[in-house]
Amino acid sequence: MTSRQAAKNERVGATNARGALLKQERALQTRQTVLAAAAEMFAEQGFPAVTVMDVAQRAEMTKGAVYFHFTNKEALAQAVVEEFYRRLPVIVAPALEKDLPPLRAVAEVLHRTALAFQDDRVIQAGARLQIERSYIGAELPPPYTAFQAMIEELLTQANEEGALHSRLSPDAYARVLVAAFFGAQHISWVQCNRRDIEDRVREIVEAVLPDRV
């Protein structure tokens, strides 16, 4: 092989590699579009009411394109719930990086999560799919446990610093906060499409952690 040929082959190879990368990127983008459409549909109508055709129409794609990325409706739901659990830590991360006193961090975590429940379709869909999990024939991550663990860690820290004035243990406190948060976002959803969730979460912090500053 001459060096010119080798150079040409290399160029062809590079073009192919770039082509493959572009194709892969497009496929990933398509997958993300389908996922976003599925999240919207599940958030609005719930798992039992949504069909793969609904998701395809919302994504402005053919049913075939959806099936290329997801085997069935169950796989769509599973992917949305997984995305919910990937996104939640990202949403609360700034609250943890700010070096706030731990009880203030708890308040900030709940506040940021409340805003996400109000605005983020993946978060809304994930919450709805978790309460509909008995209709979804697919394994979903156990609900509440990761969020509960994060809150508990902050409260343990607060307790060690003597900031938790109560007979309750940090894990009990975390259970109460997570239950109150979950209940508030649900009731707020049913009663006014989560318009008052920020106020409700502020009330929870005030009622449960009055001496957080």
Binding region for its own copies (CB under 8 A): 45-46, 48-49, 130-131, 133-135, 142-144, 166-168, 172-173, 175-176, 178-184, 186-187, 190-191, 200, 203-204, 206-208, 210
Nearer to its own copies (CB atom), residue 62 or residue 191: 191
Q: Look up residue 141 and give its two tokens.
A: 């991550």
Nearer to its own copies (CB atom), residue 82 or residue 171: 171
Nearer to its own copies (CB atom), residue 56 or residue 197: 197
String of DSSP letters for 102-156: HHHHHHHHHHHHHHHHHH-HHHHHHHHHHHTGGG--S--PPSSHHHHHHHHHHHH
> Cβ of residue 207: shortest distance to its own copies, in angstroms?
4
> Cβ of residue 191: shortest distance to its own copies, in angstroms?
7
> Cβ of residue 105: shortest distance to its own copies, in angstroms?
18
Q: How far apart are CA 57 and CA 199, in angstroms?
A: 36
Q: How far apart are CA 60 and CA 67, in angstroms?
A: 14
Q: How far apart are CA 89 and CA 165, in angstroms?
A: 28
> Cβ of residue 28: shortest distance to its own copies, in angstroms?
33
